[in-house]
Structure 1
Amino acid sequence: MPVSDMVAMTLDEVAALSRAILTRHGLSPDHVEAVTATVVAGERDECASHGVYRLLVCVNTLRTGKVSMDAAPVIHDVAPALVRVDAGGAFAQLAFERGLPVLAAKAKANGIAAMALNRCVHFAALWPEVEAVVAHGLVALATTPSHAWVAPAGGVKPLFGTNPIAFGWPRPGAYPYVFDFATSAVARGEIELHRRAGKPIPEGWGIDADGQPTTDAAAALGGAMLTFGGHKGSALSTMVELIAGPLIGDMTSAESIAFDDGAGSSPYGGELIVAIDPAGFLGAQAAEHIARAEAVFDGITGQGARLPSQRRYEGRARSLANGVRVPRPLYDDLQRLLD
């Protein structure tokens, strides 16, 4: 998009816009701050589908009445290495924020710990949460179902969510090793952005309502998305359904979309986060073995390959130095949310 069609913003201005929009639509102050942090992180890291665009998604969900605007998370200390946080039907960010110190303490006390976020509304990527866990010196794994938007391999009807899996590994220096990917061929937000821009989607992203391959974004959104890697992505998506659904007493993607009942809100359900303390396995030798892992990363980058999140980190450096640019049509849509 030409520069003339973009709006330059500082990250402080992005945060102020997010706070103004969310407050205007009734979200309570603690939730406003937690959600804003996620929105700013997406925009800062040049993840267009998880930046300020998500404010449109948040407001739409608020308007449906399918998310609590002010529920206070309730922490349940259920076992030495397990914690559950009941979000009370609110966005997931505040529940995660309140539960993270408990998860980190349990992981360091026991070597490994898991946190279940229950009854929460999801609209964002998982990498901000994984990065927050890794900041405690822990290895992290997070996953969540969503709405039933994705057909299983060989099928034509939506059953799975986009079902992301995120992983984080602590490294020396500013940035950890992090990957976060949907088990669908692409995040749903990417298809939404193609629809907004009137652009075709690549083959393999989705099928239409008749089960036929399509490059029309709107047709794919009305049909079914596809898993990445065929049966392999489908199997991983099944795993996510199980360990972040029934295992923690929360909804599957099919149950989430049934709960939505056509309202068009964001997915409702649970999230599972596992944290592992290297010192739990290795004791005083933990730092030595974490350092050995650098040879793996050097082996990747040394042959010209890219590490996951490298583009995000490069985008982060640019945004911290120069601010961000938001497409004018999207900026105008966001301004209308303040009316």
Structure 2
Amino acid sequence: MQDRATTNHVLSAQDLQAWVTRILEKAGSLPAEASQVAANLVMANLSGHDSHGVGMVPRYVDAVLEGGLSPNTGVKVLLDTGPLLSLDGQRGYGQITGVQAMEWGLERARQQGSCIVSLANAHHLGRIGHFAEMAVAQGLVSMHFVNVISRPVVAPYGGGDGRFGTNPCCIGIPLRGREPFVLDFATSRVAQGKMRVAHNKGERVPEGTLIDEHGRPTTDPGVVVVPQSNGLFGALMTFGEHKGFGLAVACELLGGALTGGGTWHRQADQRRAVINGMLTVLIDPARLGTQASFDQEALAFTDWLRQSPSHSGGVRIAGEPERAARALRQREGIEIDAGTWTELQASAAKVGL
């Protein structure tokens, strides 16, 4: 490991996970929790989603020190009827409470054919695709709607400031004998974490992604990362104009209001905690009675898509870019930009490492 703040660093997944595990242990997590959270974050980096990777550690450490994130805390069961589960994450690590919620939901779905899991008050859940991958690995379909209780960074369509979070939506669908379809995206044009990464790298972003603190278009990602001259922030824009905005609102209402975790409707503060609510729907095609036709039609349709003439490398199905990134980064290592590296070192110092 090099020490110069101006130098990017390339680490193996194993070395990076070991370092992050030590930081999280120093921040108060027991070894098993620290290892699981670190593995989840590194998997996000491996998958090409640095926005949800180890760059989140500085914010996690700050949230622990502020009291907004509670290490070694699991979910609390509020309701369990079998096909309906209502859970409270109690501000524990989302990489822990989210997995607990999914494990219980998957068990119920296998037993009864379906399960709806309501998870409120989890700290940052990380890459939602991880939970969909848990489901498709067992042959189950999953749908996830997530809201974000933190400084609002996304503007409503037609609005001029941040009013809600990046509110991700994710759908996982198994494909018999093949790699699954895993669609995982923020309802903003890009994830907030990608703006942090771009800002740390000194990069600009495409036009149509951001507005500044005055509601004017900008390509400077710093407007949503650090306070501007008037102390205000800019905002991300939703994808697909009113369509993405509509889906973002649905995620807020389902992930926040319906789960009981709450929605955002107040002035922003500077707290570092990121609280998520997630509504998950799990379906077993076998118990639905459509397994054979589902398998046949899903494969026939994806084959049909791939037969489309292409001049840009061919049609790719959701989930393929992540799997390709994992193979590449497992071989070549994970690059951490200089800015993120400096933030990680500062966080390690905060907890005495």
TM-score (norm 2): 0.87
Q: Which residue of 2 aligns with 1:317?
A: 327
The Cα offsets for residues 127-174 of structure 1, whole Å up to 9 and x where unpaired, read as 111111211210011121113221111111222211100110112346
Partners of 2:137 and 2:113 lie apart in 1 by 16
Q: Structure 1 counterpart of 2:270, which letter?
A: G
Partners of 1:324 and 1:206 lie apart in 2 by 28
2:28 counterpart (11, 22, 26): 26
Partners of 1:82 and 1:324 lie apart in 2 by 40
SS at match of 1:168: strand
Q: Which residue of 2 aligns with 1:166?
A: 170
CA contact (8 A) 2:41 2:52 kept: yes
The Cα offsets for residues 54-74 of structure 1, whole Å up to 9 and x where unpaired, read as 222222322322111222322
CA contact (8 A) 1:92 1:117 kept: no
CA contact (8 A) 2:84 2:115 kept: yes
**Aligned length in residues:** 330
Q: Which residue of 2 aligns with 1:262?
A: 270
Alignment of 1:271-286 (within 5 A): 271-282=278-289, 286=291
Partners of 2:185 and 2:276 lie apart in 1 by 19
Q: Structure 2 counterpart of 1:277, which letter?
A: D
Point out the more displaced range, 300-309 or 269-278: 300-309
Partners of 2:338 and 2:235 lie apart in 1 by 30
2:302 maps to 1:297: yes
The Cα offsets for residues 89-145 of structure 1, whole Å up to 9 and x where unpaired, read as 112121122232321122123322111112111152201111112112100111211
CA shift, 1:321, in A, is: 3.6
CA contact (8 A) 1:251 1:268 kept: no
Ranges in structure 1 where 5+ consecutive residues have no aligned partner: none
2:11 counterpart (3, 9, 23): 9
The Cα offsets for residues 250-285 of structure 1, whole Å up to 9 and x where unpaired, read as 121336x75xx322x132241111111101221xx5
1:230 counterpart (235, 238, 241): 241
Q: Structure 2 counterpart of 1:280, which letter?
A: R
CA contact (8 A) 1:54 1:123 kept: no
Partners of 2:42 and 2:102 lie apart in 1 by 20
Partners of 1:163 and 1:60 lie apart in 2 by 22
Partners of 2:50 and 2:127 lie apart in 1 by 11
1:53 counterpart (52, 55, 61): 55
Partners of 1:33 and 1:158 lie apart in 2 by 34
TM-score (norm 1): 0.90
Q: Which residue of 2 aligns with 1:149?
A: 153
Change in CA separation of 1:309 and 1:224 when aligned onto 2, cut-off 3 Å: same
CA shift, 1:336, in A, is: 3.8
Partners of 1:329 and 1:194 lie apart in 2 by 10
CA shift, 1:331, in A, is: 3.1
CA contact (8 A) 1:149 1:159 kept: yes
Alignment of 1:244-259 (within 5 A): 244-254=255-265
2:316 counterpart (281, 298, 306): 306
2:207 counterpart (203, 206, 220): 203
Q: Structure 2 counterpart of 1:305, which letter?
A: V
Partners of 1:252 and 1:197 lie apart in 2 by 32
Higher percent of residues as helix:
1
Change in CA separation of 1:328 and 1:210 when aligned onto 2, cut-off 3 Å: closer
Q: Structure 2 counterpart of 1:247, which letter?
A: L
Partners of 1:253 and 1:123 lie apart in 2 by 17
Partners of 1:30 and 1:84 lie apart in 2 by 25
Q: Kindly, what percent of the aligned residue pairs are identical?
A: 29
Q: Which residue of 2 aligns with 1:188?
A: 192
Ranges in structure 2 where 5+ consecutive residues have no aligned partner: 1-5, 226-232, 309-313
Q: Which residue of 2 aligns with 1:66?
A: 68
Point out the more displaced range, 328-337 or 19-28: 328-337
Change in CA separation of 1:325 and 1:193 when aligned onto 2, cut-off 3 Å: closer
CA RMSD of aligned residues (A): 2.1
Point out the more displaced range, 227-236 or 87-96: 87-96
The Cα offsets for residues 166-188 of structure 1, whole Å up to 9 and x where unpaired, read as 11011234631101111111100
2:333 maps to 1:337: no
